[in-house]
Amino acid sequence: MTAPSLLYLLWLLWWRPDPALEADYDPYDWGRNGPGVVTEVLTESCGLRRLPLTASHCGHYIIYGRRRFYAIPWIDWSLLLEPAARDAVLERVDGSYVVHTWALFTRARRVPSGSAYHQLAEQHCPWSLQLSGADL
């Protein structure tokens, strides 16, 4: 066992979650455990009281707008798969760091050729596009 692996193992044996965090943890609510925690920490440590958080600076943090991570909100997830909406979707995600594909909704759907989802996957992750059974 390498030294980093041993240190990690020792840390796992020693570490116990903070009871306050444990009390608020809900394994079935990812929004509360992920984005919710980040938002809470930033609003408290940066003194921000208004949501949504905007593209501003706060100490060592840079708060980017939603467009950087999910320019297509969950309510519009189907636009990712509509060939007629391709250009509008690509324009909305231009400048994003990632494109949230809302797998909860899209994973059971066929990815049609000509859709924004198809074009983005073809450009950035062709292997996953092949595995998805998408129209090629």
Classify 123 in phi/psi space as left (phi over 0), alpha (psi -120 to 50) or beta: alpha
- Read off the pLDDT of residues 59-112 as tens digits, 9 standing for 90 and up: 777 777 778 888 999 899 999 999 999 999 999 999 888 898 888 888 888 889
The predicted structure's pLDDT at residue 133: 67
Share of the chain above pLDDT 90, in %: 26
The predicted structure's pLDDT at residue 40: 77
Cβ distance 116 to 79 under 8 Å? Answer: yes
DSSP, residue by residue, 46-91: HT--SSS--SEEETTEEE--THHHHSS-GGGGGGGG-GGGHHHHHH
For residues 88 and 116, what is the distance between their CA atoms, to the nearest angstrom?
9
Instruction: Look at the block and give the residue holding tokens 């920490």.
Output: 41
